[in-house]
Amino acid sequence: MADHSHGSPESTGVVARPGQGDVQKFQNPGLPPHRPRLADRDPRAEKRAERQVAILFLVSIIGTVLFFVGYFLIPLDETIETLRLQNLTLGLGTAFAMLGIGVGIVHWAKTLMPDHEVSEDRHEIRTEADRADAEKIINDIVEETGIKRRPLIRNTLLGAMLLAPLPAVFIFRDLGPLPGDALRHTYWDAGTRLARDPSGTPIKASDVTIGSAFHVIPEGLSDSEHYLEEKAKAVVLLMRLNPDSLNPSPGREDWGYQGIVAYSKICTHVGCPVALYEQQTHHLLCPCHQSTFDLTQECKVIFGPATRPLPQLPIAVDDEGYLIATSDFQEPVGPSFWERG
Amino acid sequence: MSSTTTQSTYQPKTNVGKITNYVDSRVGGSGIVKEFGRKIFPDHWTFMFGEVALYSFVILLLSGTFLTFFFDPSMAETHYEGSYIPLRGVEMSEAYATALNISFDVRGGLFMRQVHHWSALLFVAAVSVHMLRVFFTGAFRRPRELNWVVGCVLLILAMAAGFTGYSLPDDLLSGNGLRIIDGVIKAVPVVGTYISFFLFGGEFPGTVVIPRLYVLHILLIPAIILLMIVIHLFMVVTHKHTQFPGPGRTNDNVVGFPVGPVYAAKAGGFFFIVFGIIAAISAAFTINPIWNYGPYDPSPVSAGTQPDWYIGWVDGALRLMPGWIAGIPLEWNIPMPWGVNTLSLNVLLPALVPAGIVFTLMFAWPWIESWLTKDKREHHLLDRPRNAPFRTAVGVSGVVFYCVMWAAASSDLIATHFFVSLNDVTYWLRVLFFVGPIIGFMVAQRIALALQRKDREIALHGRETGRIVRLPHGEFIEVHEPLDEYKRYNLVNYESHSVLPAEADVNGHVTRTEKARGRLSRFFFEDRVAPVTPAELEAAHSHGHHDAIAEQHDKAAVSK
Amino acid sequence: MKALSQRRRHPLAAVALLLIGLLFTGGVYALASSTNEAKAQTFSADQVDEGEKLFVANCATCHGMGAVGSENGPSLVGVGAASVDFQVGTGRMPMQMQGPQAQVKPPQFDDEQTMQMAAYVASLGAGPAIPGEDMLDTSDADPANGGVVFRVNCAMCHNAAAAGGALTRGKYAPALSGSTAKHTYEAMVTGPQNMPVFSDANITPEDKRDVIAFLETIDEQGSPGGADLGSLGPVSEGLFIWVAGLGVIIAFTVWLTARSS
């Protein structure tokens, strides 16, 4: 590897353009001789190709007919079988109609139209003469406007052009309201009963047996004006496990009730519902990006892309034995946002 | 004056001729026919992918127009009363209900939905394969750099068109997809929350996002795509098509078939073939069964929630990113004078960095390559991928990088279908994310060089015939059949870049970037196989013993 | 009798006969199923004894003598007859080897033996009973409601089309097509492996029946659009268009640009 060629490929001739008469290069032998096709030599083959093309066009006609058979003769009678059959017939009809034409034309082109390859010269994309002409025209135009000699006009125009698009941006301001503190509150409040999703019936503590998982919404959510928006923040997963397996941190000992705990179902990663509860391992898994939360460690992240634990909803039991929230979530639920803090 | 003379002198005889003449004399069609009627297009199967993309886009416009007549992009609540029994009486949005009606109560509606969605998948796939072809054959080099950029823009637009369409039926799958987008947007520093509120018209999901995406999907994005396609094709006409090198084909000509009749027939027929294939697939294979997913509701989610394939790699990057690295959280609360702000690197890094790397390298590659090789000439002849080992290696490396993320988007399905642990799949893919592109680079480069050596050997000594002959003095040799002139030219006619060390500029100063370029050049081009020269061939033929010759010439080639 | 024989060629005779036949079978079936249910709740002492023998021979190695559990298997006291019927009836128990979770395989015991073991385990402590035929009768169930309940409570693990999905560390939620109504019901009330328990207080027996009706409906009807590609969503669709779609297209492009002979 001693003597690497220096300089640009052109100047050293290492990378010569092919067929340029360089002694280091093979001469371009030119186009190979044309090989006549069967249909060029044999009139019977030609006739056969002609028939094949016609048959392909006939296939297309049959395909179109098949489409109409499917469209008119197969009724949509609310059963899946007829719909499947109709879809199949319409689809195959269209497929035959299209492929018949397409394959027919291509076969025609390949077998019966001339197959001599033709060479055409490339031309310069831009000739020097054109460039010179264009340059002169543009210079004349610029000169005639006088923009170079009149900086006042140029500068004010620039200023105007810079400002003019701003309204076009700001006019979109009313696309939506400002966030405010909307992301910090949910429908939950002290005393709100936990209810089953989607029926909305309240849940008694005694209903929640060990190993079970309830999908929970706040009671009365369906009366909310913004049902889906509130539900998107308020959904909760309620689980009961052996109280000994829970390890509440100081200050959160009374957030559960006899091993019943409630956690936000909205992933702290990008917001999918974390609803996969493994009742033996006590892990919660998000099906979208596989963040795994450990229920026995207050839903700490043990795998996957989430960083923060799922927020816990403090719960208790009211006089009638129903589960209630003792407050809203103590932190914003769902994915992080810049102002979250 | 002259035109009036022409009109008065030329009298068409047939009716068709009269009509044609009427139009032609008013729009100047003769000039167009003269220009394009016999224009030459080279023929190679890899040149067809751009057409596949174009045709699937046309099919998208046709089927999409049909769908708009029946679809109502409204998020207003309604109760489904259509034919599909497992959803009857369920509360849902108008968008979802009308999408169900198209599927179950409009004759041919399901077929058109499937045509639309399958051709959307094919559209992006064809654009991707077309770009891979252009990349690996070096078709992006001068003068086509700007058309490559237009193509990159088209790829991004195709993905945007696909994603906005994916979200429209307001089913559970696409709703959760939108929610993920919302989560990613919220992670953007400073403006994220505002963008989210502006996009959704308030809190997620709101009632405006689907109508807004609809306008983007059926008007804005297709209009820009059309504009870009026009620019793209205009430049193809200006540049004329590239061609593979070969006998009779030079940098200064185009060899192929004239538009009329052969090329027009083939290209036109191919539209019907693509349509036919999509129709056949749509007839027999379900796509996006929205009736399975149910209406969007923020509480449920389905196992296996994935985006369509072209967004998969970004979703995969999100999955690969750990939230904690060695006990350090990747979400930071940063104290600011006005309060505490949150920076979610666990979302931002995977959402922006891999896509940033891929798109930056993709857009800039034509200039990176010409800077590296100092090759600023016009290229109308393509490289066979093996004859540009460095580029092929870089491309394969990028493809592996992409595919690792792509695979990560289906980590849960890999786990269930190959009976392995979901967590292990993620761990392995995290390793491959870093190691895969390097291995891909090395393997591709070695394979390309090996193929070049093989080509050299065949060019010098001919093809192995498999016929063993015993010579009078007892030696056995395998008979090599010499190549004909044309076949040999195919193997010897290529350019091989060699190392270009850093050079001093006009002031005699070697700049730092030039030094870096020199190092990169050494890294990429140190190993190379030079094309066979006539002298080498001469030597190979005059020498009797081909083994020794081969050795000599391999040495010569490497040290050249 | 004569009147009857005269009318046996009446056009409605076949219909009447069919009705009588249906009524008769239905009646016998109802009778049989109610006795079956009664049997499910009160096993005979004989069955308990036989069950104990089978248990000691086949299950006690892991679950311990008296089913109190050991290092290798949980206690079965109070899991109920439904749990045994599900685990043994689907072949999950006895396990072939330790693993992330018990695999479905051809059942090792016949129905009678399964019932005997269920009887034994049920005798150790109260637990969910094997559901009777009337609890599984989906003839007037509402599959649409079942779909709603299924999507909220089941789809996140089992997939919206019940095609199954992955859980952590090699565990998975199986696909539900092919599962019998009884086994589906039992799985809901007992929460096998890592599946949470869906007691009647959580999902009412009517809702459970609706869920079963929903599963049966989507299983029977198949996909209206043609082959469902495993109902796995966009991944299998993407794979299909890349492999099959582009494969066919490439075949056509090669043909299209090849020289005709």
Q: What is the CATH number of the domain that holds B79?
A: 1.20.810.10
Q: Which of A294-298, B15-19, C21-25, C58-62 has the lowest mean pLDDT?
A: C21-25
Cβ within 8 Å, pair A341-B333: yes
Q: Testing the interface with B: which of C235, C239, C240 to mutate, by most B Cβ within 10 A?
A: C235
Examine the pLDDT at B191 and tell me if it is beyond 80. Answer: yes
Nearest to B309 among C223, C234, C248 (CB): C234
- Asked if the C-beta of C196 comes within 8 angstroms of chain A's C-beta atoms, the answer is yes
Mean pLDDT of A153-168: 95
Q: In this structure, what token pair is assigned to residue B546?
A: 């081909």
Mean pLDDT of B358-371: 95
Mean pLDDT of B201-225: 95
- Asked if the C-beta of C257 comes within 8 angstroms of chain A's C-beta atoms, the answer is no
Cβ within 8 Å, pair A176-B200: yes
Cβ within 8 Å, pair B251-A2: no
Distances in Å between the alpha carbon of C2 and those of A334, B438, C5, C8, C151? Answer: 80, 94, 5, 10, 59
pLDDT digits (tens, 9 = 90+) for B384-430: 999 999 999 999 999 999 999 999 999 999 999 999 999 999 999 99
Beta strands, E only, chain A: 118-121, 194-196, 213-218, 236-240, 260-264, 276-278, 283-285, 292-294, 300-303, 312-313, 315-317, 323-325
Cβ within 8 Å, pair C241-B122: yes
Q: Is residue B219 domain-shared with residue B304, that is, in the same domain?
A: yes
Q: Testing the interface with C: which of B46, B84, B286, B414 to mutate, by most C Cβ within 10 A?
A: B286
Mean pLDDT of B293-297: 94
Higher-pLDDT residue of A122, A77: A122
Architecture in CATH of A185-325: 3-layer Sandwich (2.102)
Q: Is residue B66 domain-shared with residue B171, that is, in the same domain?
A: yes
User: Per this entry, what is the length of chain C?
Assistant: 261
Residue B271's pLDDT is what?
A: 97
Q: Is residue B138 domain-shared with residue B11, that is, in the same domain?
A: no
Examine the pLDDT at B546 and tell me if it is beyond 80. Answer: no
* Contact (Cβ atoms closer than 8 angstroms) between residue B498 and residue B525: yes
Nearest to C196 among A110, A206, A212 (CB): A212
Distance of CA B400 to the CA centre of its chain: 14
> What is the C-alpha to C-alpha distance for residues B202 and B549, in angstroms, rounded to an integer?
77
Highest mean pLDDT among B322-326, B392-396, C225-229, C232-236: B392-396
> Following DSSP, what letter does each residue of B415-484 receive, concatenated?
HHHTT--HHHHHHHHHHHHHHHHHHHHHHHHHHHHHHHHHHHHHHHH-EEEEEEEE-TTS-EEEEEEPPP
Write out chain A residues lying below 8 Å of C192, CB-based: none
Residue A12's pLDDT is what?
A: 37
Q: Where are the domains of chain C?
A: 38-127, 131-225
How near does any CA of chain B get to the CA of C198, in Å? 16
Q: How many cross-chain Cβ pairs, B to C, lie less than 8 Å apart? A: 201
Higher-pLDDT residue of B150, B504: B150
Examine the pLDDT at C38 and tell me if it is beyond 50. Answer: no
Q: Is residue B176 domain-shared with residue B49, that is, in the same domain?
A: yes
Nearest to C168 among A87, A214, A278 (CB): A278
Instruction: Find the farthest-apart pair of alpha carbons in chain C and give their distance in angstroms, rounded.
Output: 84
* Contact (Cβ atoms closer than 8 angstroms) between residue B294 and residue B99: no
Residue C20, classified by CB atoms within 10 Å of its CB into exposed (0-12), middle (13-18) or buried (19+), is: exposed
> What is the C-alpha to C-alpha distance for residues A224 and A236, in angstroms, rounded to an integer?
17
Examine the pLDDT at B259 and tell me if it is beyond 80. Answer: yes
Let me know how many helices (H) and strands (E) chain C has, helices first: 13, 2
Task: Evaluate whether residue B71 is within a structural domain.
Answer: yes
| Percent share of chain A, pLDDT over 90 | 70
Q: Testing the interface with C: which of A196, A241, A266, A303 to mutate, by most C Cβ within 10 A?
A: A196
Nearest to C148 among A38, A88, A198 (CB): A198
What amino acid occupies position A227? Answer: Y
Q: Tell me the CB-side half-sphere exposure of residue C249, using CA atoms within 13 A.
A: 34
Confidence band, pLDDT 50/70/90 cuts, at residue C110? confident
Cβ within 8 Å, pair B286-C226: yes
Interface confidence: ipTM more than 0.95: no
Highest mean pLDDT among A18-27, A71-80, B199-208: B199-208
Residue C32's pLDDT is what?
A: 44
How near does any CA of chain C get to the CA of B412, in Å? 5
Cβ within 8 Å, pair B277-C248: yes
> Which residue stretches of B79-171 are H helix?
94-104, 109-136, 145-167
Nearest to B247 among A28, A304, A339 (CB): A28
Average pLDDT, rounded, for chain B? 91
Total domain count, chain B: 2
Q: How many cross-chain Cβ pairs, A to B, lie less than 8 Å apart? A: 381
Residue B549's pLDDT is what?
A: 42
Confidence band, pLDDT 50/70/90 cuts, at residue A111? very high
Average pLDDT, rounded, for chain C? 83
Residue A28's pLDDT is what?
A: 86
Task: Evaluate whether residue B328 is within a structural domain.
Answer: no
Distance of CA A10 to the CA centre of its chain: 46
Q: Which residue has the tokens 């599959």?
A: C143
Nearest to C144 among B90, B283, B421 (CB): B90
Examine the pLDDT at A17 and tell me if it is beyond 80. Answer: no
- Asked if the C-beta of B305 comes within 8 angstroms of chain A's C-beta atoms, the answer is yes
Q: Which of A235-239, B430-434, B493-497 has the lowest mean pLDDT?
A: B493-497
> What is the C-alpha to C-alpha distance for residues C134 and A206, in angstroms, rounded to an integer?
27
Neighbours of A119 (CB within 10 A): 15
Distances in Å between the alpha carbon of A288 and those of B11, B115, B191, B409, C46? Answer: 72, 27, 25, 9, 51
Q: For residue A187, what are the contacts with CB-CB under 8 A and spacing of at least 6?
A: A218, A221, A224, A230, A233, A234
CATH number of C131-225: 1.10.760.10
Residue A21's pLDDT is what?
A: 46
Distances in Å between the alpha carbon of B553 and those of B461, B493, B528? Answer: 11, 17, 13
Highest mean pLDDT among B31-40, C196-205, C242-251: C242-251
Examine the pLDDT at B554 and tell me if it is beyond 50. Answer: no
Beta strands, E only, chain C: 165-166, 172-173
Examine the pLDDT at C159 and tell me if it is beyond 50. Answer: yes
Write out residues 71-100 of A within 8 Å (CB-CB) of B. 71, 76, 78, 83, 86-92, 94-100
How near does any CA of chain A get to the CA of B113, in Å? 11
| Percent share of chain B, pLDDT over 90 | 76
Distances in Å between the alpha carbon of A89 and those of A83, B113, B116, B283? Answer: 10, 15, 17, 7
Mean pLDDT of A209-222: 92
Neighbours of A319 (CB within 10 A): 6
Beta strands, E only, A184-314: 194-196, 213-218, 236-240, 260-264, 276-278, 283-285, 292-294, 300-303, 312-313
Nearest to B318 among A89, A266, A305 (CB): A305
> What is the C-alpha to C-alpha distance for residues B532 and A316, in angstroms, rounded to an integer?
85
- Asked if the C-beta of A110 comes within 8 angstroms of chain C's C-beta atoms, the answer is yes
Residue C97's pLDDT is what?
A: 79
Q: Is residue B22 domain-shared with residue B147, that is, in the same domain?
A: no
- Asked if the C-beta of A155 comes within 8 angstroms of chain B's C-beta atoms, the answer is no
Neighbours of B424 (CB within 10 A): 14
- Asked if the C-beta of A208 comes within 8 angstroms of chain C's C-beta atoms, the answer is yes
Q: Is residue B68 domain-shared with residue B111, that is, in the same domain?
A: yes
Q: Chain A: list its partners (3+ Cβ pairs within 8 Å).
A: B, C
Examine the pLDDT at B3 and tell me if it is beyond 90. Answer: no
What's domain C38-127's superfamily in CATH? Cytochrome c-like domain (1.10.760.10)
Task: Evaluate whether residue B217 is within a structural domain.
Answer: yes
Q: Is residue B142 domain-shared with residue B189, that is, in the same domain?
A: yes
> What is the C-alpha to C-alpha distance for residues B509 and B506, in angstroms, rounded to an integer?
7
Mean pLDDT of B359-385: 94
Residue A75's pLDDT is what?
A: 83
- Asked if the C-beta of A115 comes within 8 angstroms of chain C's C-beta atoms, the answer is yes
Instruction: For residue A291, give the DSSP letter.
Output: -
| Percent share of chain B, pLDDT over 70 | 95
Confidence band, pLDDT 50/70/90 cuts, at residue A260? very high
Cβ within 8 Å, pair A118-B299: no
- Asked if the C-beta of A228 comes within 8 angstroms of chain B's C-beta atoms, the answer is yes
Angle between helices B345-373 and B172-186 (to 10 degrees): 80
- Asked if the C-beta of A264 comes within 8 angstroms of chain B's C-beta atoms, the answer is no
Task: Evaluate whether residue B372 is within a structural domain.
Answer: no
Examine the pLDDT at A192 and tell me if it is beyond 60. Answer: yes
Examine the pLDDT at A22 and tell me if it is beyond 90. Answer: no
Mean pLDDT of B75-101: 94
> What is the C-alpha to C-alpha distance for residues C172 and C19, in angstroms, rounded to an integer?
46
> What is the C-alpha to C-alpha distance for residues C117 and C113, in angstroms, rounded to an integer?
6
Higher-pLDDT residue of C112, B556: C112
Q: Chain B: list its partners (3+ Cβ pairs within 8 Å).
A: A, C
Residue B483's pLDDT is what?
A: 86
Q: Where are the domains of chain A?
A: 38-111, 136-164, 185-325
* Contact (Cβ atoms closer than 8 angstroms) between residue A15 and residue A5: no
> What is the C-alpha to C-alpha distance for residues A291 and C168, in angstroms, rounded to an integer?
10
How near does any CA of chain B get to the CA of C141, in Å? 11
Distances in Å between the alpha carbon of B91 and those of B77, B294, B361, C147? Answer: 7, 10, 47, 12
Q: In this structure, what token pair is assigned to residue B394?
A: 């870089």
pLDDT digits (tens, 9 = 90+) for B95-118: 999 999 999 999 999 999 999 999
* Contact (Cβ atoms closer than 8 angstroms) between residue A232 and residue A266: yes
Confidence band, pLDDT 50/70/90 cuts, at residue C1? very low
Residue B505's pLDDT is what?
A: 83
Q: In this structure, what token pair is assigned to residue B470?
A: 């015993």
Mean pLDDT of A140-165: 94
pLDDT digits (tens, 9 = 90+) for B229-245: 999 999 999 999 999 99
- Asked if the C-beta of C194 comes within 8 angstroms of chain A's C-beta atoms, the answer is yes
> What is the C-alpha to C-alpha distance for residues B390 and B349, in angstroms, rounded to an integer?
29
Confidence band, pLDDT 50/70/90 cuts, at residue C34? very low
| Percent share of chain C, pLDDT over 90 | 29
How near does any CA of chain A get to the CA of C15, in Å? 25
Residue ranges making up the domain that contains B28 = 2-33
Write out chain B residues lying below 8 Å of C157, CB-based: 303
Examine the pLDDT at C178 and tell me if it is beyond 90. Answer: no
Neighbouring-strand partners of residue A260: A240, A257
Average pLDDT, rounded, for chain A? 89
